[in-house]
Copies of this chain bind each other. A is one copy, B any other.
Amino acid sequence: MNQTRNLFYAQSGGVTAVINATACGVIETARAHRDRVGDILAGRMGILGALREDLIDTGKESSASIAALRHTPGGAFGSVRYKLRSIERNAAEYQRLIEVFRAHDIGYFIYNGGGDSMDTANKVAQVARTMGYDITCVGVPKTVDNDLPVTDNCPGFGSVAKYVALSTLEASIDVVSMPETKVFILEVMGRHAGWIAAASALAGEVRSEPPHIILFPEVPFDEERFIDKVRETVERYDNCVVVASEGIRRADGGFVAESGTQDAFGHAQLGGVAPYLAALVRGRLGYKFHYAVADYLQRSARHIASAVDVEQAYAMGKAAVEMALAGVHGKLPVIVRTSNDPYRWEVGQADLSAVANVEKTLPPEYISDDGLHVTDACRRYLSPLIQGEDYPPYRNGLPTYVRLGNQLVEKRLPPWVG
């Protein structure tokens, strides 16, 4: 005889074009197991929703709305960057979580996020057992940064990679068309890991094609080498396309974007790598430039999501619920690449502790010898992840993204004083 318990799902950290596809996989799979899963509750604003007892009743949503999550970007239930402190330093927070879980008979905890979030999931998994509360905790990987270890890649990355490769390709065609513009710079996300910038390399097949220069956080920014390479590229090809990670740093460790440039109020400029590099190029070389800053557009571009990414994001959500129902505790599903050509992958499992707080940056063998581009090995790794288009439906010229009602269940506990 199976016992019916409720399920809690939350999204954490920066959202992606496909984290809602994971939510869709979680909810649809849980709904298909009514004998085991009762209410499917989602945290309003991630783990804060659990602490505040802001629990969204996904049962109020039609199957059509839940199905539409598969093609809707953003975080349907809200997401925050909130990291639980260590148990020693804040036992009350963990106790509160367990109280809320107990009050709502949560038997399954599914936490969808990056490295920090896997750490949170891992702590919750440990504390619950220590406190004698019966719950099965499973993580689900998500991050545009692709910086989780163990898993071959992270859901969310393939779509931003496709967007960045595509945008680099399209903008480069524009630059080539306009011989007056010599340098184009595209700033992409990546504070510590250069995976997103690396994906721009797929816009060309050889180094003579744009992008000509890629700047990674893993490679200290060398102004002279950069300027020399821009000059050489413009002299040879009449233009130069640069893709820069927002997190590039100088040899002394300081962010390039914060070094020297100030805004109108005298604050160090943030997220301004592209304007900084553009000014540098103009100042040193006098070339006419254009720059773009992709920012949120890159991670919300569901309209051009990678079909492989959508499929994997959904599969991770589905697998997480299946693992939880099988009593797998303290783990997360991961993507295992079993073949590169043709690309094949399967769902594996890893310990939350192996993934928590470990950052996977670009390995040296994926960066070209001069530090300004990728290797063929990197291309072979990246290319399968951007395959296939998974277009959302459109109405009146725009995608029909769903917005859920997000009705909260009635609170059963006094307010949280965090």
List chain A positions with a Cβ less than 8 A from chain B. Answer: 11, 14-15, 45, 72-76, 78-81, 162, 165-167, 169-171, 173-180, 184, 186, 202-203, 260-265, 267, 269, 271-272, 274-276, 279-280, 282-283, 290-297, 299-304, 306, 383, 386-389, 391, 394, 396-399, 401
Contact = CB atoms under 8 A, between A and B. Distances in A.
Contact of A294 (B260, B269, B292, B304): B292
A293 B296 contact: no
Nearest to A291: B295
A301 to B, nearest CB: 6
A18 to B, nearest CB: 13
Oligomer copy total: 2
Nearest to A76: B177
Contact of A300 (B76, B165, B170): B170
A10 to B, nearest CB: 13
A131 B146 CA distance: 65
A254 to B, nearest CB: 14
Main secondary structure of the interface of A (DSSP, over half): mixed
Most buried by B among A75, A78, A177: A177
B173 A80 contact: no
A146 to B, nearest CB: 16
Contacts of A274: 293
Given A279-B263, A291-B271, A397-B388, A78 B296 contact: no
Contacts of A14: 178
Nearest to A385: B397
Contacts of A401: 169-170, 173
Given A267-B279, A306-B397, A383-B396, A299 B177 contact: no
Nearest to A45: B179
B292 A275 contact: no
B263 A184 contact: no
B293 A291 contact: yes
Given A165-B398, A169-B398, A383-B396, A74 B283 contact: no
Given A174-B15, A303-B166, A397 B202 contact: yes
Contacts of A166: 303, 398-399
Contact of A303 (B170, B177, B203): B170
28 contacts: A73-B173, A76-B177, A78-B177, A78-B178, A79-B178, A80-B178, A80-B180, A81-B180, A162-B397, A167-B297, A167-B301, A169-B399, A169-B401, A173-B401, A261-B263, A263-B276, A265-B282, A274-B293, A290-B295, A291-B295, A292-B295, A292-B297, A293-B293, A304-B304, A306-B397, A383-B397, A386-B397, A386-B398
